[in-house]
C-alpha cells in the first residue's frame, strides 16, 4: 500500500516541543500516525501528551530509535540547526527523514547532500509539506502523515501525487477526493534548489508500486528536474501521468516564492517543461483546476 511510508511506520518528531512541531505532532497522532518519540536536546525524559497518547522525548535521534524502533522522522527544527538535525537522522540510520523546515541555507544543504552520499537514509525536502499514505478509516484516518499536509482531504486509493508545491499538492488531492478517487501516496518534495528526493525518484517508485495506477506530477519553473523525469517517463513508465507546471507568467531572473523557482541562463522555463511533458505523453493541465480531470480522462 503506497510508497515510502505505511500505516505501521514508526515516526519520531525532531522539534516536538516547539509550537509548530507540537501542533503537527498532534495532527499526525489524530490522523492515526504511529508517533512513537520526540527529540529535543536537553528535554530527554519528558513526555509529550495528546488525547491519551504519551510520547516519550529523547535528547538524541539515536536514543529515540534504539528505545522505540522509529524508522522515520519529521524535522521541525529552526533553519540554523536543521541541517544538523537531518544529519543526526542519517547518522542514526533512519530509513526516511522528512525536512519540513523552510529557509535552510543552500550551502548547508550542499553539505548535507555530500554527507548523505552512500547513506541508507532517504531525505524528503527541505521546505516541503511532507508525505501522506492515506488509511482506510473515516477521512482516511489510520494512515501515515509525516509533515504538515491536511490529512482530512486524503482518501485511500490508487493515484500517486508528487509535487514541488505544497499548496498544489493539496489542490490535486482535494480534486481527486471530491471525485471519489483516492490516493496511494502523496509526496511533497519541496521547492528548494538542493533537495533530497526528486520527481524522478518518486516517479520510479510509483511506477514499481502495484497499488499506484496513475500519477499526477506537479512542477514549477527553475532547474531541470521535470524534464529529466519526463524523459524517463517517455522511455519507461507504464502508467498514465498527468502534469502541471506552475510559473508560466514569472519574469526571468526573479525568484518566485520557492528558492528553486527561478529562471536563469534561459533554462528552467515553463515552456520548456511543458514541451518536455507533451513529448513524453504526459497529459498537461493548462490550469491547476484541471489536474485531476486531465489524469482521469487519460485513464
Instruction: Indicate which CATH number applies to the domain containing 294.
Output: 3.40.50.261
Q: Are residues 289 and 163 in the same domain?
A: yes
- Which of 102, 124, 146 is the endpoint of a domain? 124
Q: Which three cell numbers stand for residue 294?
A: 486531465
Instruction: Say how far apart CA 297 and CA 207 lie, in whole Å.
Output: 19
Q: Are residues 268 and 165 in the same domain?
A: yes
Q: Are residues 115 and 162 in the same domain?
A: no
For residue 61, tell me if it sits in a domain. Answer: yes
Q: Are residues 162 and 120 in the same domain?
A: no
For residue 15, tell me if it sits in a domain. Answer: yes
Peptide bond before residue 99 is cis, with ω within 30 degrees of 0: no
Q: Are residues 250 and 207 in the same domain?
A: yes
Please identify which residue in the block is written with the cell numbers 543526526. 88
How many other C-beta atoms lie within 10 A of the C-beta of residue 9? 20
Q: Are residues 112 and 199 in the same domain?
A: no
Question: Cα torsion for 80, 86, 88, 91, to the nearest 10°?
Answer: -140
Q: Are residues 98 and 161 in the same domain?
A: no
Tens place of pLDDT per residue across the chain (299 aa): 789 999 999 999 999 999 999 999 999 999 999 999 999 999 999 999 999 999 999 999 999 999 999 999 999 999 999 999 999 999 999 999 999 999 999 999 999 999 999 999 999 999 999 999 999 888 788 899 999 999 999 999 999 999 999 999 999 999 999 999 999 999 999 989 899 999 999 999 999 999 999 999 999 888 889 999 999 999 999 999 999 998 776 666 655 555 555 555 455 788 889 999 999 999 999 999 999 999 999 99
- Which of 108, 124, 140 is the endpoint of a domain? 124
DSSP conformation class of 44: T
For residue 38, tell me if it sits in a domain. Answer: yes
Q: Which three cell numbers stand for residue 281?
A: 505523453
Domain span at 259: 155-298
Q: Are residues 169 and 114 in the same domain?
A: no
Q: Are residues 163 and 119 in the same domain?
A: no
CATH number at residue 111: 3.40.50.720
- Residue pair 126/158 in contact (Cβ under 8 Å)? The answer is no
For residue 134, tell me if it sits in a domain. Answer: no
How many other C-beta atoms lie within 10 A of the C-beta of residue 116? 17
Instruction: Say how far apart CA 292 and CA 299 lie, in whole Å.
Output: 11
For residue 143, tell me if it sits in a domain. Answer: no
Q: Are residues 92 and 200 in the same domain?
A: no
List, by residue number, the catalytic residues: 258
Considering its fold, how many domains does the chain have in total? 2
Please identify which residue in the block is written with the cell numbers 507540537. 22
For residue 132, tell me if it sits in a domain. Answer: no
Instruction: Say how far apart CA 160 and CA 13 lie, in whole Å.
Output: 25
Instruction: Say how far apart CA 80 and CA 107 lie, in whole Å.
Output: 11
3-class DSSP assignment, residue 152: helix
Amino acid at each position: 500500500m503506497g510508497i515510502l511510508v505505511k500505516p505501521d511506520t514508526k515516526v519520531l518528531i525532531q522539534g516536538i516541543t516547539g509550537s509548530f512541531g507540537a501542533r503537527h505532532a498532534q495532527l499526525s497522532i489524530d490522523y492515526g500516525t504511529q508517533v512513537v518519540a520526540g527529540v529535543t536536546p536537553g528535554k530527554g525524559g519528558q513526555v509529550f501528551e495528546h488525547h491519551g497518547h504519551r510520547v516519550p522525548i529523547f535528547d538524541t535521534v539515536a536514543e529515540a530509535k534504539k528505545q522505540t524502533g522509529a524508522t522515520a522522522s519529521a524535522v521541525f527544527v529552526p533553519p540554523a540547526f536543521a541541517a544538523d538535525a537531518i544529519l543526526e537522522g542519517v547518522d542514526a540510520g533512519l530509513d526516511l527523514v522528512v525536512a519540513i523546515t523552510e529557509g535552510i541555507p543552500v550551502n548547508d544543504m550542499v553539505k548535507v547532500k555530500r554527507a548523505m552520499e552512500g547513506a541508507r537514509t532517504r531525505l524528503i525536502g527541505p521546505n516541503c509539506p511532507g508525505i501522506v499514505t492515506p488509511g482506510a478509516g473515516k477521512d482516511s484516518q489510520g494512515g501515515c502523515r509525516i509533515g504538515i499536509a491536511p490529512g482530512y482531504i486524503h482518501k485511500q486509493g490508487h493515484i500517486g501525487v508528487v509535487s514541488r508545491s505544497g499548496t498544489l499538492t493539496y489542490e490535486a488531492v482535494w480534486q481527486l477526493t471530491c471525485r471519489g478517487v483516492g490516493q496511494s501516496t502523496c509526496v511533497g518534495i519541496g521547492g528548494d534548489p538542493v533537495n533530497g528526493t526528486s520527481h524522478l525518484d518518486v516517479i520510479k517508485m510509483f511506477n514499481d508500486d502495484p497499488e499506484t495506477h496513475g500519477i499526477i506530477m506537479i512542477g514549477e519553473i527553475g532547474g531541470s528536474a521535470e524534464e529529466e523525469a519526463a524523459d524517463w517517463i517517455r522511455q519507461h513508465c507504464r502508467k498514465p501521468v498527468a502534469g502541471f507546471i506552475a510559473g508560466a507568467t514569472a519574469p526571468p531572473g526573479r525568484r518566485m516564492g520557492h528558492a528553486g523557482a527561478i529562471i536563469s541562463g534561459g533554462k528552467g522555463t515553463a515552456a520548456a517543461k511543458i514541451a518536455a511533458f507533451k513529448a513524453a505523453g504526459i497529459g498537461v493541465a493548462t490550469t491547476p483546476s484541471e489536474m485531476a480531470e486531465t489524469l482521469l480522462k487519460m485513464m
